[in-house]
Structure 1
């Protein structure tokens, strides 16, 4: 798994933008809100995504995954090495995180995203 593959998965979703936060994190956003944080220059590269409250304990206890040290209270999971997940798992978790963040956006922005998705 590479950051470029994760980037490609993210950009398949409507309205996704990228930003750099804290000088080292490549973040993927929808409606101005981040749904995936990556640390491409980390050794190994890592990433974090949001999961539903009810899935947090199960997902964050998988091999190679942990509650995110700073934002676990918001149900964010840290993938210590992006190779810990297969491409299909990345597609699932990225989409799930995107949907969770998009669902909390203002109605007007959500309507634009629906239009973009065709």
Structure 2
């Protein structure tokens, strides 16, 4: 996944907003809360950072192409950074970005979730 594909995918998720911050990183938010960050990793390769569940954090931090996210994970947060250019991992990355969006949206107040049309019973 490249930067353009990352931004296109994140922008298609419900109730998202985009901002450039933190030295030019592509930052995606839901309800004003960050769920994904696109920027540069080791060797200037694209790197995509996202929130995970505790179980996924443990799994991914030991998986090739992923690492605990700088800054976020060092503060005890369960955030992972995808740091390898490998198109075969794109489907998994899309899953984790979607899951990050869901996890962050669940942390919003019920009123905010309802205003944004998120996590509502069908």
Q: Under a length normalisation based on structure 1, what TM-score does the superposition of the two structures give?
A: 0.86
Cα offsets for 1:77-111 (capped at 9, x unmatched): 01123537632112200110001100001112211
CA contact (8 A) 2:18 2:29 kept: yes
In 1, Cα distance between the equivalents of 2:81 and 2:40? 13
In 2, Cα distance between the equivalents of 1:77 and 1:8? 20
CA contact (8 A) 1:63 1:84 kept: no
Cα offsets for 1:21-78 (capped at 9, x unmatched): 2122110110011100110597111111010012211112110111112111110001
Tell me which residue corresponds to 1:11.
11
Does 1:75 find its partner at 2:63? Answer: no
Any gaps of 5 or more consecutive residues in structure 1? none
RMSD: 2.3
2:103 alignment partner, SS class: helix
Alignment of 1:27-46 (within 5 A): 27-39=27-39, 43-46=44-47
Change (3 A) 1:22 1:85: farther
What count of residue pairs does the alignment treat as equivalent?
A: 117
CA contact (8 A) 1:56 1:75 kept: yes
Any gaps of 5 or more consecutive residues in structure 2? none
In 1, Cα distance between the equivalents of 2:80 and 2:87? 13
Change (3 A) 1:56 1:84: farther
